[in-house]
A and B are shown apart, each in its own frame.
Chain A
Amino acid sequence: MSENRGSKNKYSPVDYETNSSANLCPGCGHALITRALRQAVSELNLPPEKLNVVAGIGCSGKTVAEIKANGIHTLHGCAAPVAMGSQVANPDQEHILISGDGDSWAIGSGKMIALLRTNLDLLYICENNGTYGLTRGQLSPTTKIDSPTRWGMVSDIPPVDGIGIAMVTGATYVARGFSARQELLVEQIKGGILHDGLAYLEVFSPCRTFNDHEGSHHSYKYCQRHAADFPKISVNDIEADYPSDSELEHEFTYEEDGRQFGLEFDNLDEMPEYDPTDLNLALKTWEDYWTEQIIPLGLLYIDESQKAHHERFYSEEDDYIATLEPEETRPSREDFSIILDQFR
């Protein structure tokens, strides 16, 4: 995060704060994700009214209260369909979905698959703490084998691998973050918002109250100890950050509200074997780490060549359905008569 950026921006992170509280526990990883999200949207200069934040149920979903945006707090496991309907109805809005590990991969698992298949243009943030915090610390679908709950319960059922599923099922931007690594997270969120398609960002987000104890595989300590570096990205406002060097080559460029942004990989030279645009390689590498219980942090996979879901429904001259005037939604008398002809 460079210091000079704020000056060019109309918004600062404070502008995305609200006067309501999500009532999270002190030290909750989710609060740090909210902080990073506010930072990211301010750096992208996105007006709060342009943001549609769709939230599921659980500690993660509650954070929608603390983000100044058009929020919609949905049902348990059901943020995905609501986001799909909303995004398709008005793709001009920036859509961010906030969910947790239970909300996504237990009760919402079928809907996750359906969402990932579509390459809907939105950022999906899965706040993974490996427990059901809001009901006081039960096993979750991402609880690791041999990782006891605070109450000593251990699962011998293998956890759901959300990252692996996302890559196999069709997400076109797959990243892994850690709530304690703010700088990385901010860039990952920015990249995910700018990405033209479905960005799945799973954030390791420890639950201080129920899953940060000794022996837990979802604690701050555990993640610090097992983290490994993966491709790091930075997302920059091209004009603001490279005033004298706008010819610089960027890995990917995006336009947002008339501003140009570039996405770069910071440390690919340190991992010459890796290519984040190669799905097979990304999958294989990920699975190796998964087996060895290493937690890679970074952008694992990106593909900017796929069609976003809403493009299936609109041609260039079409207005988005949510923006139509009421009278434009009904066929004319002439059309009505033509329709009736087939029944006459």
Chain B
Amino acid sequence: MSSGAREDLQIAVLTENGDYSVSTNDTFARVLYDLGLKTTTRRIFPSNIKGAPSRYFIRTGQNAKMALRSNSDIAIILIEERAERVLSRLRPGGLVIYDPDSYIGEKIDPARDDKDISSRFYRDALNYRAVPLKKLAADNFEDYLMKRVMRNVIYVGFLSSLLGIGFTEASEGFAENFADKGEKIVDNNLKALKLGRDYAENLNSLTDEFQLTRSRCERDTLFMRGNDATALGAVMGGCTYASWYPITPATSHGENLERYAQRYPLVVEQGENEDSCLGRALGAAWAGARASVSTSGPGFSNMAEFVGYSSFAEIPVVIFNIQRCGPSTGMPTHTKQGDLRAALHISHDESPRVVLTPSTVEQLYSYSWQAFNIAARYQMPVILLSDLELGLSHFTTEKLDYPDEPVDEGKVLSPAELEELEKYSRYEDVDGDGVCPRTLPGQGPTYVTRGAYHAADGRLSEAPEDAREKMERLFKKMTTMKENNDLPAPEVEICNSAGAGAIVFGSTRYAFEEARENLTTEGIELSLFDLPVLSPFPTKELHEFLNQHKKIFIIEQNYSGQLMSLIQEKVSHDHDFQPLRSYDGRYMNASIIEERVKESLLNERK
């Protein structure tokens, strides 16, 4: 075994859903981040509260990337269900930590005479280390719950020793994180950490190959989940009203806002269903608030009619859709990017809307606050598509900046401005940009805001010229916002020598970045086009990109190639497009991308 100086390490924990290990693992990830290590987490978990197998991954190290790797270095195996799958994804030389007093322990304990080397859990290429987690917890803690929970903290104590983390470093993080749970809980955590650590230190033969390299450089980073970034973005966008209905994986966005509401001028309400949430948000926005809703697939479908209403009645609102795997109930706890077309077309007939597709934590934050200004300026719904992988995973990210543009309420006439006008008509396009000044109830002339066709003064009208004018003006806003550069610009990285490029959006960006770096070391260069917005579509920019590259990989997580068909519709049919898709609910990783890119390029050479 080589002595370790690990710069990129991935740990997999296989456990039972609802065994309280998530908060322990979250805390451990935070400890690693606090040590200056780039750290990210992923959970693969079932739609279940207690009992079903659940996996938690931590990737950490000085040079760790922010995507999940296809294989891990260390596995903590606490249950047998899914154990084979986790073991099959350990790197050769990987370490399996298991509890000898478990079913799986009995099967693979090398110390036992009757060891079953033909066991499906036993692999030659792996190393096994028994740690009596249950027994240590049972012997050292009194009540039933603590015996169960502290088992998790004991393995963290063991791991911290394995990774070369000092006891103080680990215990400080745990003490801080559980401080609000009371002294007793903190004491228990520290005791359990020590038990795990002592167990490791007393072993003579514990490997040092997993010790992490640590740099002491100054850093200005943050550690947050995508749902933390979108919620913070909303607050910084000046959101004053938010409504939400609990749904995986959007719930933590709403819960974050509930916390902000205790300090900032923000009203957060849990609605009775998602279309009611959007209705409430639109009511608040009509009255003069800056409003948003957050949801995921099924809830998004539920909002359909109000999306069109928002666009047609011209009431600004921001809709956060943290996509999950659908259709229908789908796989609520698994990721997918299948709502592109839904976001573009949801609601009957046709109505303009903005669809933003942030792909990194920085973008999640900045697009979120920008979304409120865009919605206000163009008086329409702005749909921000995040996804489960971004929303629920922790990422180490560059520091976020205070918004560089002021809160903009768009064209809202004050009573004083109204007084200077000879005549006011709600839907009169005075300056020809498609956006008509609005007024707030109580501050000006009375009129009816409605989802029925109307003339410029807001009165009902079914006259063909009014109908034409309304549609033409609504869609004109989409051109105006492009001309005004009011939308986030695509992040484009061109490699001069590259004959090939890739178009990505959303969470796959992280996996792509890693793949791109790895491919470069093998002499394969790829340009990047990170698509920031689907509607209005950045046709010009993408056209330019296509012109510079013969082969284009389109990376997306849906079956039918929603992005590819959109590019074909908006930019070009005649191009060497290489679809790179996944739609099994699992996270994209660099290996998948590398393999597919190499395969495609090799075929070309043949």
Contact present for B279 and A78 (CB under 8 Å) = yes
A340 near B287: Cβ-Cβ < 8 Å: no
Question: Are the C-beta atoms of B265 and A329 separated by less than 8 Å?
Answer: yes
Distance in Å from the Cβ of A294 to the closest Cβ of chain B? 33
Most buried by A among B282, B287, B409: B287
Known: A73-B451, A329-B265. A49 touches B444 (CB 8 A): yes
Across-interface contacts of A93 in B (CB, < 8 A): 287, 441-442
| A89/B442 in contact, CB under 8 A | no
Contact B448 A89 (CB under 8 A): no
What residues on B are CB-neighbors of A89 within 8 Å? 240-241, 267, 283-285, 287-289, 291
Q: How far is the CB of A150 from chain B (nearest CB, A)?
A: 26
Instruction: Categorize the interface residue count of chain A.
Output: 35 or more
Q: Is A68 an interface residue (CB 8 A)?
A: yes
Residues of B within 8 A of A128 (CB): none
| CB–CB A329/B238 < 8 A | yes
Chain A residues positioned under 8 Å from B283 (CB to CB): 54, 72, 81-87, 89
Which residues of chain A from 112 to 169 have a CB within 8 Å of any chain B CB? 113-114
**Mask: chain A, 210-222; 1 = CB below 8 Å from B; 0 = not:** 0000000000000
What 0/1 readout, one digit per residue, does chain A (333-344) give for beta carbons within 8 Å of chain B?
A: 101100110011
Query: Is A72 a contact of B286 with CB atoms below 8 Å?
Result: yes
* Cα distance, A230 to B267, chains bound together (Å): 40
Contact yes or no, B279 A321, CB < 8 A: no
- A residues within 8 A CB of B271? 81, 114
A86 and B265: CB pair below 8 A? Answer: no
Decide if B449 touches A72 in the complex (CB within 8 Å).
yes
Q: When the two chains form their complex, are residues A92 and B406 in contact, meaning their CB atoms are under 8 A apart? A: no
B431-445 interface (Cβ within 8 A of A)? 440-445
Across the interface, which residues of B come within 8 angstroms of A75, CB to CB? 279, 305-306, 309, 451
Determine the main DSSP class of A at the interface with B. Answer: helix
- Cβ B407 vs Cβ A65 within 8 A: no
Assess whether A321 is in contact with B400, with CB atoms less than 8 Å apart.
no
Contact (Cβ within 8 A) B446 A68: yes
Per-residue contact bits, chain A 31-57, to B (CB 8 Å; 1 contact, 0 not): 000000000000000001111101000
Return B310 CB to nearest CB of chain A, in Å: 11
Asked if B279 and A81 make an inter-chain contact with CB atoms under 8 angstroms apart, the answer reads yes
Whether A90 and B240, one on each chain, are in contact in the complex, defined by CB atoms closer than 8 angstroms, is no
Closest to B439 in A: A70
Q: Report the bound CA distance from A36 to B407 in whole Å.
A: 43
Number of cross-chain contacts by CB at 8 Å: 191
Q: Is the CB of A110 within 8 A of B273?
A: yes
Answer yes or no: A14 CB below 8 A from chain B CBs.
no
**Given A114-B272, A322-B287, A330-B236, residue A73 in contact with residue B407 (CB < 8 A):** no
Q: Are A88 and B269 in contact (CB under 8 A)?
A: yes
A329 to chain B, nearest CB (A): 4
Complexed CA–CA distance, A81 and B303 (Å):
12
Q: Which residues of B contact A113 (CB under 8 A)?
A: 272
Cβ B441 vs Cβ A86 within 8 A: yes
A92 to chain B: which residues have CB within 8 Å?
442
Q: Known A82-B283, A331-B264; judge A111-B446 contact (CB<8 A).
A: no
Query: Does A271 interact with chain B (Cβ within 8 Å)?
Result: no
A318 contacts partner chain B, Cβ-Cβ < 8 Å = yes
CA A228 to CA B403, docked complex, whole Å: 64
Interface stretch of the complex, out of B96-104, B186-194, B221-229, B385-393? B221-229
CB distance B448 to A72 under 8 Å? yes
Interface string of B263-298 (1 = CB under 8 A from A): 111110101110111111111111111110000000
Q: How far apart sit A222 and B369, CA to CA, in the bound complex (Å)?
A: 58
B243 contact from A85, A111, A324, Cβ within 8 A: A85
Q: Is the CB of B448 within 8 A of A71?
A: yes
The distance from the CB of A41 to the nearest CB of chain B, in whole angstroms, is 12
Residues of A within 8 A of B406 (CB): 326-327
CB contacts (< 8 Å) of B89 on chain A: these are none
* Chain A nearest Cβ from B14, distance in angstroms: 28
Please pick, from B265, B282, B290, B449, the residue contacting A318 in the complex, using a CB distance under 8 A.
B265
Asked if A84 meets B280 with Cβ closer than 8 Å, knowing A49-B441, A68-B446, A110-B273, the reply is: yes
Q: How far is the CB of B559 from chain A (nearest CB, A)?
A: 32
B236 touches A78 (CB 8 A): no
- CB of A68, distance to nearest CB on chain B (Å): 5
- B240 contacts which of A114, A324, A327 (Cβ < 8 Å)? A324
Asked if A321 contacts B240 (CB within 8 A), the reply is yes
**B460 beta carbon closer than 8 Å to chain A:** yes
In the bound assembly, the distance between CA atoms of A333 and B236 in angstroms comes to: 10
Find chain A residues with CB under 8 A from B466 CB. Answer: none
Q: Tell me the bound Cα distance from A157 to B237 in angstroms.
A: 50
In the assembled complex, A74 has its CB within 8 A of some CB on chain B: yes
Q: Given the complex, which residues of B lie within 8 Å of A331, measured CB to CB?
A: 235-236, 264
- Contact check: which of B237, B272, B400, B449 meets A340 at CB < 8 Å? B400
- A257 located at the interface, meaning its Cβ lies under 8 Å from any Cβ of chain B in the complex: no
Q: Assess whether B399 is interfacial by the CB under 8 Å rule.
A: yes
Closest 3 CB pairs of A and B: A85-B283, A81-B279, A322-B288
A-B contact sample (12 more), CB < 8 A, given A84-B279, A111-B276: A49-B442, A52-B441, A65-B460, A68-B446, A72-B283, A81-B276, A84-B269, A85-B281, A321-B241, A322-B440, A329-B407, A340-B399
Q: List 19 A-B contacts (CB under 8 A).
A: A65-B460, A71-B448, A72-B313, A75-B306, A78-B276, A84-B283, A85-B289, A88-B269, A88-B280, A89-B240, A93-B442, A111-B273, A113-B272, A321-B267, A322-B440, A326-B407, A329-B238, A330-B403, A344-B221
